[in-house]
Amino acid sequence: KAGVTQTPRYLIKTRGQQVTLSCSPISGHRSVSWYQQTPGQGLQFLFEYFSETQRNKGNFPGRFSGRQFSNSRSEMNVSTLELGDSALYLCASSFGRDEQYFGPGTRLTVT
């Protein structure tokens, strides 16, 4: 069974731009969660989607948003990028209330 895939793997953007990251979960997994990983703050939960509905949300500004499609694929969007948004963005999928399986991440650099 294929694992969680994330695209793109690397991204360079300029301050003020917006970005969309994509995540394809493991087949059959309906829950998708997003995390931000930075050297200073570590791993922080962004939001979780289940059956196209946002079920949980972390403490991030409204510039961070996401959605989930009927095939469970998910996207997250960051608008008006700031330098501090540079991070590794990790997506994880799970089957119901099971452990999470992580993708390789998208490395976002904001210049």
Partner 1 sequence: AQSVTQPDIHITVSEGASLELRCNYSYGATPYLFWYVQSPGQGLQLLLKYFSGDTLVQGIKGFEAEFKRSQSSFNLRKPSVHWSDAAEYFCAVGASISGYSTLTFGKGTMLLVSP
Q: Which residues sit at the interface with partner 1, rule CB under 8 A? A: 4, 31, 33, 35, 42-43, 45, 48, 50, 55-56, 58, 90, 92, 94, 97-105, 107
Using left for φ > 0, alpha for ψ between -120 and 50, and beta otherwise, residue 52 falls in left
* Nearest residue to 69 via CA among 82, 53, 56, 80: 53
Of 65 and 79, CB closest to partner 1: 65
| Residue 59 DSSP SS3 | coil
Tell the smallest beta-carbon distance from residue 15 to partner 1 (Å): 24
Q: Which residues of 16-31 are buried (b: 16+ CB within 10 A; e: fewer)?
A: eeebebebbbbeebeb
Of 58 and 65, CB closest to partner 1: 58
Of 31 and 78, CB closest to partner 1: 31
Q: Please give the biggest Cα pair distance in the chain.
A: 39
Of 20 and 88, CB closest to partner 1: 88
